[in-house]
Amino acid sequence: VTSDHSMFIPVRLIHSSTLICTNLLLRTVQQGVFEGLKAYRKLDGCGFMLFRPVENATRMQMGADRMCMPSPSADQFIDAVKETVLANRRWVPPQGKGSLYIRPLLIGSGTVLGLAPAPEYTFLVYAAPVGNYFKAREGMEPINLVVEDEVHRATPGGTGGVKTITNYAPVLKAQLLAKHNGFTDILYVDPVKKKYLEEASSSNIFIIKGNVISTPATQGTILAGITRRSIIEIARDSGYMVEERLVAIEDLIDADEVFCTGTAVVVSPVGSVTYHGQRFEYRTGAETVSQRLYKSLTDIQMGLAEDTKGWTVEVA
């Protein structure tokens, strides 16, 4: 099978009546939630810092509950994350050169054919060294978004508010198409009125107009990002007015700045948003609000600024 990005994907055909694969076929994973967090190397080069791991543990518990799964306690979650960091200590990039991305995953599986909660659950944590998600110069290179109003990543009453594995595959095709058309990522809108901004594929969206920073309120269809919450707090502490509200597509027209937040993307300035062929452009670069917020956040994450809020957790 050839995918549209010219990779060969081998597909194994399995005859369902053969005994050998019965067990494999019945082990369908129908429930799954995951998390994403980062460990940064401390300035001394030896220890490591996690950013708000309790929030990740709590979000996994909420997600597991929504998906009808049992979940690890916050202590079990954090201990497993710490163990993973220590086991992979040599892969953590030097200060300023990236981080260790950590992915805790909870899946339900087992021999059940009917629609019922899985009989077995597995919690695992894996990690990989990463640089900037958008392969741009750290926090500076703008990204270009396209508004998608036909494909939706979440619906009211659905699972958009939790980080379940089943939220991501349904938008892969739209995402690949957007990339093929030269955009960095998609900006989703609400599926009912197709008028209000929701979020990007793996990040939350903010717009700035004057001294006011606005971001879509979390109403069950967007993920309550930990970076989003942290940036709201940092921005308010820095004297900006931050509104969590319905943000309409029209608000994009005269915004000064637009940026995305997320564990992977950190704070990524948006250079343009395209809506039905119309391209809106925004201020980017060193003197922007988003760049100041990026610096305030990453200084705390990397231990370069005092962590007055108790957001970081040391791993030693």
Our answer to whether residue 42 is catalytic in this structure is no
Site for ligand PMP in 50-109 (CB under 6 A): none
Q: Which of 38, 42, 82, 163 is catalytic?
A: 163
| Residue 109 contacts residue 124 (beta carbons within 8 Å) | no
The yes or no reply on residue 164 touching ligand PMP (CB under 6 A) is no
Min CB(198)–ligand PMP separation in Å: 9
Site for ligand PMP in 15-34 (CB under 6 A): none
Q: Give the HSE-up count for residue 61: Cα atoms under 13 Å, Cβ half-sphere.
A: 13
Question: Looking at beta carbons only, is 263 or 301 nearer to ligand PMP?
Answer: 263
Q: What residue is closest to ligand PMP based on CB?
A: 225
Distance separating alpha carbons of residues 48 and 86, to the nearest angstrom = 9
Distance separating alpha carbons of residues 64 and 277, to the nearest angstrom = 39
The yes or no reply on residue 262 touching ligand PMP (CB under 6 A) is yes
Min CB(148)–ligand PMP separation in Å: 13
Question: Looking at beta carbons only, is 210 or 234 nearer to ligand PMP?
Answer: 234
Question: Looking at beta carbons only, is 28 or 219 nearer to ligand PMP?
Answer: 219
10 Å CB burial of residue 137 (0-12, 13-18, 19+) is: exposed
Q: Give the HSE-up count for residue 132: Cα atoms under 13 Å, Cβ half-sphere.
A: 18
The yes or no reply on residue 289 touching ligand PMP (CB under 6 A) is no
Kindly report each contact of residues 71-75 with a partner whose C-beta sits within 8 Å and lies 24 or more positions away, as own/partner: 71/33, 71/106, 71/123, 72/106, 72/123
Site for ligand PMP in 194-233 (CB under 6 A): 199, 202-204, 223, 225-228
**Total residues binding ligand PMP (CB under 6 A):** 14
- The residue type of 218 is T
Min CB(58)–ligand PMP separation in Å: 11
CA torsion through residues 68, 36, 263, 60, sign: positive
Which residue has 């993920």 as its token pair?
223
Instruction: Using CB under 6 A, list all residues that contact ligand PMP.
Output: 36, 163, 199, 202-204, 223, 225-228, 261-263
Instruction: Provide the annotated active-site residues.
Output: 163
